[in-house]
Structure 1
Amino acid sequence: MTSATPSTPSTPTADDPTTAPGAVMAAEMAEQPDVLGRLVARLPELGEAVRGALPTPLLGSTLIARGSSDNAAVFGRYLFEPASGRPAGLAAPSLVTRYGARTDYSGYLVTALSQSGRTPEIVTAVRAARERGARVVAITNEADSLLAAEADVLVATDAGTEIAVPATKTVTAQLLAVVGIALALGPLPPTVADLADLAELPDAVRRVLADTDACETLAADWAHHDRLVVAGRGLGGAVALEGALKIRETSGVFAEGISVADLLHGPIAALGARVPVLLIDVGGPTTPDIGALRERLVADGVPHATVAPELGGLRTEAARAIATTVHLQNLARMFALRRGANPDAPAGLAKVTPTT
């Protein structure tokens, strides 16, 4: 499925010395309500295209990605499996590109995510899966990319050119596209995702973008920390991974995203006054786990905060998770600025990482 040709945003370039640090990232973040609104309107069409491409029978789903797209893939894993009633998991591209794996993908749906559609190992792994029987859905911002050419169904996110190194509008568009694919695979509980609630997402994101007070306060309080942990579970765990990546790449803070369950299996012993914890609670069945961890952190004297943006009455866990991702983008940008870094163009990073 193709989309309209993305328009180029009227933002300055990240390496323009006259551009204020963080201005490009902020401008692209501000485009998210419109990007999400366009994509929400296309979700019924997306669902029809995906259902038409599914193998019969569907044996399972695999997601292939790297970087921020990999965090969106983790998000998808928590949606695809309950929706389809079939196993869902993440592929390791290196199994193809380094170990020469020849996996039989007959009966499998492969969903590949890449903002640029140009990461060599993603394209190679997807091509290998398709040659061995997979049906392929590609989620990318570039409709004429190499990845798009490998797809049975193309989901062009139509986010427009993204200039700042940290992916923002393309990530939330991927998250929304993943929800749309999941709804095409089968029913999800109405507390997890539904189209009516997703239609409210653009306005909720506008409110999140406008409400920066909590982010500014936390960035000021924690700017001196060189390490922190971002913890969530389920869909909130995927949001934690993405939030940690944004903080890490924009500010140089070594932020680690981790499942609450995994944190309790040993890493919690490394926490203390110098390593604060950011808790991600997007509602749903994992909220009690967040509460239990919060009580443990209080007892152990570990500094912590809970991400709780104003979400304007969003009812479903998936929609709240996407809006919370935007809140963490705000926080990452402010962390970077507080630490004297330019989040538009972090040192040592490029917009496209050509891993093979």
Structure 2
Amino acid sequence: MAAEIAEQPAVIARLVARSSDIAAAVAAVRPDPLRGFVLVARGSSDHAAVYGRYVLEYATGVPVALAAPSLQTRYGVVPRLDGFLAIGVSQSGRTPEVAATMEVLQAGGARTIGLCNDVGSPLAEACEVVVPLGAGPERAVPATKTFTATLAAFALLAQALGDRSTGDWPRLVDALAVAVDDDTGARTAAALLVGAQRLLQVGRAFLYPVALEAGLKITETTGVATNGYSPHDLRHGPIAVADAGVHAVCFSSPGPVAADVERAAADLTARGARVVAVAERGGDVPAASALIAVPSGTDELLAPLVHSVRAQQLALHLAQARGVDPDRPFGLTKVTATE
């Protein structure tokens, strides 16, 4: 896991270098007019798809839906999707229900794109166009470089299909390099959280999927149950668990929703919880008792990639501090063959 975390700047740089080829491939299957998107995924890929929902709708202005695969694989629903672009996401490309759902969506009229790390996989074969992640073999069970590569692929798709830039890619790659070279903040935070049995992850908008993924990473590497929430969903009930025995990790980046995360951190602190912020140094989470700093200046739409690296580092060091092998979590396998 540690070695694969370190590979991420190079993985993203290679993917960005193919942006023109990706744009050309996507243009070949773009419906005219484009009425919307349907995204199909499970696990970490599903969290990446939540990011895809935000970035695609932001860039194109058309609605984005997350598929409910059981409707296709168990109930036989064939949705009417003329004018829609369906995007299947599976880092291995070997999750059966994702490939099967994509086949049904194509039968319903959608044009199809697959995002995966294996161009010979069933998902790749089920889609009209494949965007290879190009991350190389990923041997640790927790997804790291394939997750951030999927985020980058979604941002590149949004850039190709929409009329808004997703940000400064060279600056992002530089920020990723800085992040993987110094994990001091994550080590320090792991020492603070090592005894925690109740954890919350909080993020909004483009960082909401990072909160979801951080929860999954910590759960699968340590066995500690933790969930991700948006600040507003947190206030709709889950904040009731917050007391002196709860720790929370709040993900924040400068932008329109930073104040919402700041308020959530303050509310959690007021109830006795201890807050760790993943944010720029001097950022918008003054209630935090610890900071995992991210390099400053990354565009808001691309910041989730850097925050994801910090979440991965935190999960890695928390697992090690608890005496758990993060590469081989108990009872888990690299490919989960859900149908």
TM > 0.5: yes
Partner of residue 230 from structure 1, selected from 192, 197, 201: 201
Structure 2 residue aligned with 1:215? 186
The residue matched to 2:246 in structure 1 has which SS? Answer: coil
Cα deviation code 1:310-339 (max 9, x no counterpart): 544434112211111001100000010011
For 1:43-62, list aligned pairs within 5 A: 43-62=19-38
- Distance in 1 separating the partners of 2:72 and 2:173: 38
Counterpart residue type for residue 14 of structure 2: R
Contact 1:205–1:311 (CA<8 Å) still a contact in 2? no
For 1:33-48, list aligned pairs within 5 A: 33-48=9-24
Structure 1 residue aligned with 2:332? 349
The residue matched to 2:135 in structure 1 has which SS? Answer: coil
Partner of residue 70 from structure 1, selected from 29, 33, 46: 46
Partner of residue 263 from structure 1, selected from 230, 234, 246: 234
Gaps of 5+ in 1: 1-24
Contact 1:251–1:339 (CA<8 Å) still a contact in 2? yes
Partner of residue 122 from structure 2, selected from 143, 146, 152: 146
Offset, 1:206: 1.6
Cα deviation code 1:31-55 (max 9, x no counterpart): 1111111001111221222122111
Structure 2 residue aligned with 1:8? none
Distance 1:228 1:311, change over 3 A: closer
Corresponding pairs, count: 327
Offset, 1:161: 0.7
The residue matched to 1:143 in structure 2 has which SS? Answer: coil
Counterpart residue type for residue 166 of structure 1: P
- Residue 249 of structure 2 corresponds to residue 284 of structure 1: no
Structure 2 residue aligned with 1:302? 273
Cα deviation code 1:173-204 (max 9, x no counterpart): 0000000011112122x5xx22xx11222221
- Distance in 2 separating the partners of 1:182 and 1:136: 15
- Distance in 2 separating the partners of 1:44 and 1:282: 28
- Distance in 2 separating the partners of 1:156 and 1:200: 23
Structure 1 residue aligned with 2:264? 293
- Residue 96 of structure 2 corresponds to residue 120 of structure 1: yes
- Distance in 1 separating the partners of 2:8 and 2:268: 34
Distance 1:221 1:311, change over 3 A: closer
Offset, 1:302: 1.5
Partner of residue 158 from structure 1, selected from 121, 125, 134: 134
Cα deviation code 1:2-26 (max 9, x no counterpart): xxxxxxxxxxxxxxxxxxxxxxx11
CA RMSD of aligned residues (A): 1.2
Counterpart residue type for residue 138 of structure 1: G
The residue matched to 2:18 in structure 1 has which SS? Answer: helix
Distance 1:81 1:234, change over 3 A: same
Distance 1:224 1:169, change over 3 A: same
Counterpart residue type for residue 274 of structure 1: G
- Distance in 2 separating the partners of 1:233 and 1:48: 32
Counterpart residue type for residue 231 of structure 2: V
Cα deviation code 1:48-84 (max 9, x no counterpart): 2212211111111011000000000000100111222
Contact 2:202–2:229 (CA<8 Å) still a contact in 1? yes
Contact 1:207–1:310 (CA<8 Å) still a contact in 2? no
Structure 2 residue aligned with 1:89? 65
Runs (4 or more) in structure 1 with deviation over 4 Å come to none
Offset, 1:94: 0.8
Structure number with the bigger relative contact order (C-alpha 8 A, sep ≥ 6) is: 1
Contact 2:210–2:307 (CA<8 Å) still a contact in 1? yes
Offset, 1:252: 0.9
Structure 2 residue aligned with 1:15? none
Greater displacement, 292-301 / 307-316: 307-316
Contact 2:294–2:310 (CA<8 Å) still a contact in 1? no
Structure 1 residue aligned with 2:311? 328
Contact 2:242–2:272 (CA<8 Å) still a contact in 1? no
- Distance in 1 separating the partners of 2:122 and 2:187: 40
- Distance in 2 separating the partners of 1:258 and 1:47: 33
Greater displacement, 305-314 / 144-153: 305-314
- Residue 101 of structure 2 corresponds to residue 130 of structure 1: no
Identity of aligned residues (%): 44
- Distance in 2 separating the partners of 1:304 and 1:166: 24
Contact 2:202–2:251 (CA<8 Å) still a contact in 1? yes
TM-score of the two chains, using structure 2 as the length reference: 0.94
Structure 2 residue aligned with 1:172? 148
